[in-house]
Amino acid sequence: MTMTKPVNKIVVCGDPLVDEYKCESYTTMYPGRLVVPGTHADDISVCGAAGKPIGWLGYEQAAKKYMPASVDTLYADTSDGATALAPVLYGGHFVIVASIASGSTSDEGALGVPAASGQVSLAAAVSATVPTGATTVLATSAAPACTMAGSFPAGGMIVCIFREAVAGSADVAALSLI
């Protein structure tokens, strides 16, 4: 199913919580991208692949002085040189227009993880290969390397559920889980 996306907005439905942060840099700071904490407590930067995002970069929630010209425009310093303050949306239970990574796809109902430049990609299924054979392992140095530990997934945290199927470099409606 293709979901009808709003024009020049990124929240399709729902009521996200909103905090305002300074943009530490403007590289790929487009509305609908995932963001992480910046260097200082009041800064944000765009999230990288397998990052730990704190939310989504908002658009229609921005103060007029800081709002980019459209949802396809980067956040930037204001004409008077002030650092842009950008809304960060979080709290889950809202549908957002996110950006799917180039070369990635989404299937309706599939899970999404952070990708490069604040985008999202399809979560990969966890797999492990355990060697087989007749050789008895007598020491830990000969044991196969098949260790999984910790609570943070190796492929990145699940940040959304895709609400439609699209293929690479497109906007995708996604139910936020963060």
pTM above 0.75, yes or no: yes
Domain boundaries, the chain: 11-124+152-176
Average pLDDT score over the chain? 87
Q: Are 59 and 71 in contact (CB under 8 A)?
A: yes
pLDDT, position 114: 96
Assess whether pLDDT exceeds 70 at residue 134.
no
Assess whether pLDDT exceeds 80 at residue 83.
yes
**Domain 11-124+152-176 coded CATH 1.10.20:** no
